[in-house]
Structure 1
Amino acid sequence: STALRQVSVDFPDAGLYAVSWWALGFEVIPNIRKSTICLHADEMETSVSLVAQLLRRDPARMGQVPYGESKGEEQGLNAGTEGFSLKEAVYTRQFWVVFAMFLCFGFFMFAIVVHIVPHATDLGISAASAANILATIGGLAIVGRVVLGSAADRIGNKRVFIIGFSLMSAALFWLVPSGEVWMLYLFAAVFGLAHGGVGASESPLVAGLFGLSSHGLILGVTSLGFTTGAAVGPFLTGYIFDVTGSYRVAFLVCAAIGIVGLVLTTLLTP
């Protein structure tokens, strides 16, 4: 998003601050009318649009030094604003590797978000507990964005992706035979923590590979991979369920997609 890009540019320790509000959308709030939610959404959109007018270009482009850096590093910071154009980026192998990584991430992430509640209720778990399992994914995603986002500043965004894909794939394999409510809560905790960390590292990963001169545009195009996966994942998962009568095969497919994402990440080079 634009806000996430602005944070990653203005603050050198961007991972620590990459905690977005969208994860809160997974929280299930009962007895709230849709009209009330729409009203608050309109208010939020208006407020964010107004506040966004106060944003300025990143400090390096304004002849200033970003918060947390010394003046002696100013030359390096100015160099950091350079990078690939979109036209140049699309001709690199890294661009399409990142695109495919984001597609894999969007595929199984939204497949789980859409289908975990029906899966839980099919197992005989109450609707309230099923909703809380989904809320656990959202809540732990916030923690993951802070913890793994902070870790990315020390170990690098590629390693966070490797950790995230590994944990999410393992969690999906754990989900397949899980039949008890505590097992689904454990899945939700691990999956949420991992996908929050990966989500926080998307923008810094792209910035590190392609620079900042066209960062917003390049991030937007690579994120089309994420949205494509997010559209296909839930649909294909539902189709497999309709054909087989079970989520077992569908979740195994999601786990396999996670492994593909992991392999792609290991192939990513500067």
Structure 2
Amino acid sequence: MKGQSRNPEWSSGWTLVMAAFFGSSLQNLPVYSFGVFMLPVAEEFDWSRASTSAALTLFAMLVVPFGPFMGGQIDKRGSRALALPGAIMLGLAFALLSLNNGMLPLWFALWALVGLAALFIKTTVWTTAVSSVFTRGRGLALAFTLSGLGLASSGAPILSRLAIDNFGWRSAYAMIGLGWSAAVLLILYLFFFDAGDRKRRSIDGSRASATSPGGLTLREALRTGSFRMILASTLFLNIIMAGLAVHINPILISQGLTPTHAAAALGIYGFAGTFGKLGSGWLLDRFHGRIIAPIILIVPALAALVLLQPLTIPLALVAVSLVALASGAELQALTYLTTRYVGLRHLGKIYGTFTSIVAACIGIGPVLAGYIFDLTGSYHLLLLGLIPVTLACSFMLTKLPPYPEHATESV
């Protein structure tokens, strides 16, 4: 952040970005710990991986119908009004997963509670708040914000494995859920204030009062070819990438690694994902998205090619790094493109729709990956299918037009 010190946005907004970073990590905790918990839970109750993964589908699908509504609430009430209660509810709901007694209906009900709590702290909350304060440095600011996913993706598997090995999966759910949410809640309470909050508190008031965001309504955005291309790329890419991300631990084990080595290899996931976000954010502030985004979307195909090989530990590190790099940069790029093509006036509702699609993909992808494994006994078909999907999405984004005027607000 020091390199951005000459930009007044960073001088006054770095604490917001820091808080959003940790908030984003809590949001992603259920998804990135799921793969480690999935095996001991499924083995204890003799569930198939598809059945176990179906709970994550329910978790994700709850976001789909409510995403635009929650985004509209952000536009009306501000991000802080949702983030603080959301952090409390998510921690409690995640801890309640320890009550699973082997009945699938109870397992699904508990994950439904996690999904309802997660509605309050989805990506829309963090990106809308940061975008309201940052204009010139928005790409890098969003990159730092979304790097919280990297903290979850690297920290959650390791902490989950350590807690499960030492205390069992039931205690692990309670310890990680309550501990992680309490730390994040404190940071949000102290530092998470968007442009509206700053104006009301007379923090950076001159900038907040001078900002007059323009942009499209949701209906207007859906009529534009650029937003439809972004949504289509998001849909197809994230279905298969979500399955890969959730099942990456079992994939590594199926390709020859021990569970301990697989968990250790996943430790690099967060660092690589963070590098992908920060690097793509820096590039998107300097070059057009129709140049950067298609390049980013080629990386998952390279990852699939590596994962199709018998894995040694060094090769596994390469594969995990490529998956994480692609996941981090892809989300960052599509988020940035959304803010640029639709503007800020109704960003909460529009990005809520965007995250609903991502949530649907997170729900469909893991079950699809689990079904492929149950049907074929391996993940090879998933990896082979990923290659043409990512290449097609990459080509689609090369057709994006120049940024419209409303997407560039004066500073």
Tell me which interval the TM-score lies in, with the shorter structure as reference length: 0.7 to 0.9
Q: Report the CA distance shift for 1:241/1:31 in structure 2 as closer, same or farther (over 3 A).
A: closer
CA shift, 1:58, in A, is 9.0
Kindly indicate whether residue 178 of structure 2 is the aligned counterpart of residue 36 of structure 1: no
Q: Which has the higher contact order (CA 8 A, sep 6+)?
A: 1
Match of 1:55? 194
Aligned residues: 259
1:25 is matched by which residue type in structure 2? A
Q: Partners in 2 of 1:121 and 1:104 — Cα distance? A: 26
Match of 2:87? none
Kindly indicate whether residue 404 of structure 2 is the aligned counterpart of residue 261 of structure 1: no
SS of the residue corresponding to residue 84 of structure 1 reads coil
Match of 2:304? 172
Q: Partners in 2 of 1:269 and 1:178 — Cα distance? A: 42
Moved over 4 A (4+): none
The TM-score with structure 2 as length reference comes to 0.57
Is the CA contact (8 Å cut-off) linking 2:298 and 2:394 kept in structure 1?
yes
**Identity among equivalent pairs (%):** 24
1:14 is matched by which residue type in structure 2? R
Q: Partners in 2 of 1:7 and 1:112 — Cα distance? A: 29
Which of 16, 34, 40 is the aligned partner of 2:140?
A: 16
Q: Report the CA distance shift for 1:90/1:171 in structure 2 as closer, same or farther (over 3 A).
A: same
Kindly indicate whether residue 306 of structure 2 is the aligned counterpart of residue 160 of structure 1: no
2:152 is matched by which residue type in structure 1? G
Is the CA contact (8 Å cut-off) linking 2:257 and 2:311 kept in structure 1?
no
Q: Partners in 2 of 1:59 and 1:187 — Cα distance? A: 43
Structure 2 unaligned regions, length at least 5: 1-122, 164-171, 403-411
SS of the residue corresponding to residue 112 of structure 1 reads helix
Structure 1 unaligned regions, length at least 5: 67-73
Which of 230, 234, 258 is the aligned partner of 1:98?
A: 230
Q: Partners in 2 of 1:220 and 1:178 — Cα distance? A: 40
1:97 is matched by which residue type in structure 2? M
Which of 322, 335, 338 is the aligned partner of 1:203?
A: 335
Superposition RMSD in Å: 2.6
Match of 1:226? 358
CA shift, 1:123, in A, is 2.6
Superposition pairs of residues 67-146 of structure 1, within 5 angstroms: 78=212, 81-146=213-278
SS of the residue corresponding to residue 110 of structure 1 reads helix
Q: Bigger shift: 49-58 or 223-232?
A: 49-58
CA shift, 1:88, in A, is 1.2
Tell me the alpha carbon deviations over residues 148-177 of structure 1, each in whole angstroms, 9 at most, x when there is no partner. 211111113333321210112222123223
Q: Partners in 1 of 2:264 and 2:387 — Cα distance? A: 22
Tell me the alpha carbon deviations over residues 210-241 of structure 1, each in whole angstroms, 9 at most, x when there is no partner. 11111121111022221222111111122112
Q: Partners in 1 of 2:177 and 2:150 — Cα distance? A: 18
Match of 1:69? none
